[in-house]
Structure 1
Amino acid sequence: MTTVPPEAERLLENEPVMAHFGTCVDGRPHVAPVWFRYEDDTVEVVTTGRKLENVRENPKVSLSIQNDDDGRTRWMVTLLGTATVVEDEAETDAARRRINEKYDAPSDAYEENRLVRIDVGTASYRTY
């Protein structure tokens, strides 16, 4: 069963917009901008630092994604899910290449980042 509406899936799969990745640290929210890739109710993020530790301590996460034109929101998607830090180097490298391609970055950019895979549980979507 698909959680994300098809029209929102299309936007998440194709548009290179920033996501705000919400994790939890010491019972408080920690939000940071990230690049991502969405496919089949799964989000891939390659990141480093505090976000990885937060996911390891509490895998419940959120992503807020929106697209604006000159400060006017066109659409927004909020995803809630469960994240896993993927330790496999080959999977991380492949995900990094896919994400960097989406954002037109060199395929080897951000080599220090680790893969976080998010299984989407619920989604909300709105156009303006």
Structure 2
Amino acid sequence: MTEIPDEAERLLESEPLMAHLATSVDDRPHVAPVWYHYDDGTVEIVTTGRKLGNVRENPRVALSVQKDEDGDPRWAATMLGRARVVDDETESRAARRRINEKYGADPDAYPENALVRIDLGSVAYWTY
């Protein structure tokens, strides 16, 4: 596991911001906004559709998160890692609850979403 600076971890855990997940299959990029949960070098997202297929084909992913205030950037982080789809309904349900609660959604919403766990290899972050 990569060593992530404490300040970057604090920022990633701090509030319900959108992340942008980048996947790639056949040298074609796909970027989509996602809700996320960060904990100790691992990012969890719950999702459906093309992102799941892309991760199954090519586990190398990138994520970016940025905090803005009235259009002015405050901090940003970019992360590279290896993702895997967790085909376990109990784990997916627990992750959906964690993430939905973080973003103020019904904890049991989006039951079709599957868990994707991303082990981070590197994190770059900066504050403005």
For the superposition of Structure 1 and Structure 2, which TM-score range results when normalised by the shorter chain? over 0.9
Task: Name the structure 1 match of 2:118.
Answer: 118
TM-score using structure 1 length: 0.97
1:58-86 superposed Cα distances (whole Å, 9 cap, x missing partner): 00001000000011100000000000000
Residues in 2 aligned to 1:49 and 1:111: alpha-carbon distance in whole angstroms: 13
Structure 1 unaligned regions, length at least 5? none
CA contact (8 A) 1:80 1:120 kept: yes
Matches for 1:1-128 after TM superposition, within 5 Å: 2-128=2-128
The structure 1 segments of at least 4 consecutive aligned residues displaced by more than 6 Å after TM superposition are: none
Q: How many residues align?
A: 128
Compute the RMSD of aligned alpha carbons: 0.9
CA contact (8 A) 2:47 2:114 kept: yes
CA contact (8 A) 1:87 1:115 kept: yes
**What is the one-letter code of the residue matched to 1:83?**
A
1:10-30 superposed Cα distances (whole Å, 9 cap, x missing partner): 111121000000000221210
1:110 partner SS = coil
1:61 partner SS = strand
CA contact (8 A) 2:86 2:115 kept: yes
CA contact (8 A) 2:96 2:107 kept: yes
CA contact (8 A) 1:5 1:125 kept: no
CA contact (8 A) 2:22 2:62 kept: yes
1:97 partner SS = helix
Residues in 1 aligned to 2:109 and 2:88: alpha-carbon distance in whole angstroms: 18
TM-score using structure 2 length: 0.97
1:75 partner SS = strand
Cα shift at 1:2:
4.8
